[in-house]
């Protein structure tokens, strides 16, 4: 069993937990079978949902009745104590009992508790929140998505290295193209920090990615760039804008195809194309933000996703561990 990826799971975070979390684990196990789940939470609430659907060689439950609430501030979550399911899950990674930790719970609390328990990778000043975004050719890694509102040029260079390392962990045979998110593609555009970062990345000639200069917001989905780097303020605005746009498009299409007889007929005739389109925009496929820069990887599943989305984020966990993300960052930083 030593070749199994050991994933620490906070089973009590997010909407519909722990049922959604356990259903996600069961679904992931059916598809993968190479993960061992260390499940943290209330045993009497968890066990009925497992109900012998997974062989006990592939999981264990660490009982605790204490949880971090969705309404807790990061400080309140930290004060709630070291016996919450979130804290214990992160601590298991710190103690090398698990390879990676995942939670669908309170994002701010997860980041603070992770920082309190885990050390930074040497020579990295700030961790970053990254995620996978769809593009025309596949997926891009985008960071930072809100962990750091203000960043120095060194931080943005570090994020470039970390984002490229994450991409290489997920896609080992590819060398990513990395770019800085900016208000224009010309060298003179942007503030002083981003222009300084541009110069540093041009001079460094790092081995784990090709530096492609600047990218504008309307080019993110083109697929020419695989790793997109920004400060947390800009990245979070871009993320929320993309999510809102995707929701707007899908909702408007539903209205068009359900609003009239002609729309209903059109939807029937275009059923297969609409199904492909819907799947492409399905947020469950891209679930799982990754908090990188710490000496162990921490994954945040969206609190509102369903068991399919959570299962997909467990896949991301497995790929990160097998792709040796932390060592890749250390080698390149």
Give the Cα separation of 182 and 27 in Å (integer).
40
pLDDT tens-digit map of 56-94: 999 999 999 999 998 889 888 888 778 999 999 999 999
Domain residue limits, the chain: 1-124+293-333, 132-284
* Res 282: pLDDT: 62
Which residues, listed in sequence order, are joined to residue 206 by a DSSP beta bridge? Answer: none
Do the domains 1-124+293-333 and 132-284 sit in the same CATH topology, yes or no?
Answer: yes
Which residues, listed in sequence order, are joined to residue 102 by a DSSP beta bridge? Answer: 9, 299
Find out whether the peptide bond into 103 is cis, omega within 30 degrees of 0: no
Q: Look up the CATH superfamily of 1-124+293-333.
A: Isopropylmalate Dehydrogenase (3.40.718.10)
Asked which of 34-43, 63-72, 164-173, 261-270 is least confident by mean pLDDT, the reply is 261-270
Instruction: Please give the full DSSP string across 60-123, using - where no structure is assigned.
Output: EEEE--B---TT--HHHHHHT-TTBHHHHHHHHHHTTS-SEEEE-S-HHHHHHHHHHHSPBPTT
Give this prediction's pTM. 0.86
pLDDT tens-digit map of 221-246: 888 999 999 999 998 888 888 878 77
Cα separation values, 162 from 86, 107, 148, 199, 212, Å? 24, 20, 15, 18, 16
- Mean pLDDT on 163-191: 89
Helix (H) or strand (E) holding 235: helix 232-258
* Res 31: pLDDT: 92
Tell whether the model's pLDDT for residue 333 goes beyond 90: no
- Mean pLDDT on 257-277: 60
Q: How confident is the model at residue 1 (pLDDT cuts 50, 70, 90)?
A: low
Helix (H) or strand (E) holding 201: helix 192-204
CATH code given to domain 132-284:
3.40.718.10
Give the Cα separation of 71 and 116 in Å (integer).
20
């Amino acid at each position: 069993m030593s070749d199994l990826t050991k994933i620490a799971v906070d089973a009590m975070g997010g909407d519909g937990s722990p049922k959604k979390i356990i259903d996600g684990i069961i679904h992931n196990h059916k598809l993968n079978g190479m993960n061992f789940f260390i499940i943290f939470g209330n045993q009497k609430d968890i066990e009925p949902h497992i109900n012998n659907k997974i062989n006990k060689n592939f999981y264990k439950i660490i009982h605790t009745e204490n949880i971090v609430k969705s309404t807790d501030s990061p400080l309140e979550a930290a004060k709630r104590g070291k016996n919450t399911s979130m804290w214990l899950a992160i601590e298991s990674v710190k103690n090398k009992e698990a390879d990676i930790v995942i939670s669908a719970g309170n994002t701010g609390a997860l980041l603070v508790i992770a920082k309190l328990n885990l050390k930074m990778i040497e020579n990295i000043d700030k961790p970053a929140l990254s995620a996978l975004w769809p593009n025309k050719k596949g997926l891009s890694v985008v960071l930072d998505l809100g962990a750091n509102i203000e960043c120095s040029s060194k931080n943005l260079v570090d994020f470039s290295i970390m984002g490229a390392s994450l991409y290489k962990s997920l896609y080992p045979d590819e060398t990513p193209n990395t770019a800085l998110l900016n208000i224009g593609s010309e060298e003179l555009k942007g503030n002083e920090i981003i222009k300084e970062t541009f110069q540093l990345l041009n001079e460094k000639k790092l081995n784990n990615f090709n530096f492609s200069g600047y990218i504008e917001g309307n080019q993110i989905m083109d697929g020419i760039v695989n790793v997109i780097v920004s400060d947390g303020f800009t990245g979070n605005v871009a993320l929320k804008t993309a999510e809102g746009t995707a929701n707007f498009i899908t909702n408007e299409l539903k209205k068009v195809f359900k609003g009239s007889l002609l729309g209903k007929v059109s939807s029937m005739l275009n059923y297969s194309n609409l199904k492909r389109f819907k799947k492409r925009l399905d947020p469950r496929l891209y679930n799982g933000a990754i908090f990188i820069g710490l000496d162990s990887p921490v994954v945040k599943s969206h609190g509102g996703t369903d068991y399919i989305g959570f299962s997909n984020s467990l896949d991301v966990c497995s790929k990160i561990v097998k792709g040796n993300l932390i060592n890749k960052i250390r080698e390149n930083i």
